[in-house]
Structure 1
């Protein structure tokens, strides 16, 4: 890849994250004998490497691949087995101990149906550069990215998240009787028990499904809102961009592991770039800062592509890396914006 800016000043944590991402990719394709030996060596170098690998694997639901290499994780496997046995025993005791309590109290007390177990009506919001995870009343886990607003309305019969702005990732608690809907204007993304992210952009919505399936439908904006007869199913490992307005056709595409890990790296406070044009990188960076970044009109500058791991909000680190690797100059303008430029020939 030509014209790529690499962040040579990566921290140990960033290098560990990159390595873990690469190993998850190799695991998905199958390890050769030499790669197996290299992985063993890397895991033995630092105990934190194992933790990072498990965290990245769980992000893309690849823990099964790690389980098949149980000889590399003997302690983890034993602990998990013991832990499961403990859970089964504890669960049995809980069932025996509370079954009578459930019959005498919950079955006779209708008040429970209107508690937080089924009802939730609130709003969550993050500021610029912030991300936060919330545990919802139904057991779902909602993560908001930078500068996002999501209104939550859960009742006995429905679960609705209205994304007003920004980006969310949702791990949906399974409840077949109450599918969960993410609404963005007149677009509905419905799931029962799955995981996916939705980003509201200027003119379109990006959907990435990391587990299960999501049904995409248009809501007709009439006096009595109804669903369009057309619907689209997007499955695990697929993504699509949906027009915010209108009935533009939906093109569903496969997304590989590397791209998926990069797309969701914001959940760990990182942004991973894999050779995107510098204009695209700067547009993404601006989402995490109140600072405006502009590029001088220069074809050579716009041809620069960026690869590496960037910490969200660390604009100074990014500018320093661009300057060190490609001699890209930057200066503050009177309105507070940053202007990037190349030296004049």
Structure 2
């Protein structure tokens, strides 16, 4: 378990490093001001969806349903769920597109008029990330069922790679629209990279076979998970709203700080995915044993990381963040 968790943690850390590089390059290119704040406000909902799915919102509900089926039924289930979740993602995109103006005013109440316009424009582009996120979460299920955790865990890296390359290449010449387009490309790469592995396992994307009641069964399992996830994202929303009221650039710095404090949580997310795959295929007594081992591994992985992050916080800020941190809107 620990070996699989370690490899998945390394893959996830690589994705987190790419995500931090994206934010760092954004500040280096645009500065910590109204433009970066507006883009991060527009990024909040797509990023919240991606992180919720990465934390197992869909896979925790879908993996047991997938594993309880025979091989032939698994292919039929996957073939039936793919178009449904693709349509769900497209519906989310349309909703975000049509309500972008009101949503950015809710998320960033402290932005000025230009900031609202930039954020709404960015969200209209970023809304099209939703279909890729949904398909990636679905395609991870058969991989996790076969204990191929690392390939499934590359989603964050694949998503962040195009915007990192875009910002590193164009720097000061980059635009909000160009960066949002790069993020959409990253969302397409996420499920696209998984297609060869699924094809080798026998799944064919053009064979759409519906299974009666499959979507209803999945929604019934997602319901209890969704409430706790919404509470977590509600706190993040409150944080983003308050940051926008602190002054120009505050959203940018708070976002960078959150990237750093999320480091210890990466191992927990990876351990969660490994435990989920192992426990779904185990009997009752084995599940209890796996859960005990998982709790021990969680303590072993996170406590040293938390202690190190607290002790090195000042040095990390000086080392990792751009020089523009001096004179920012946040208290020292």
More strand by share: 1
Q: How does the TM-score come out when normalised to structure 1?
A: 0.24
More helix by share: 2
Where relative contact order (Cα < 8 A, 6+ residues apart) is larger, the structure is 2
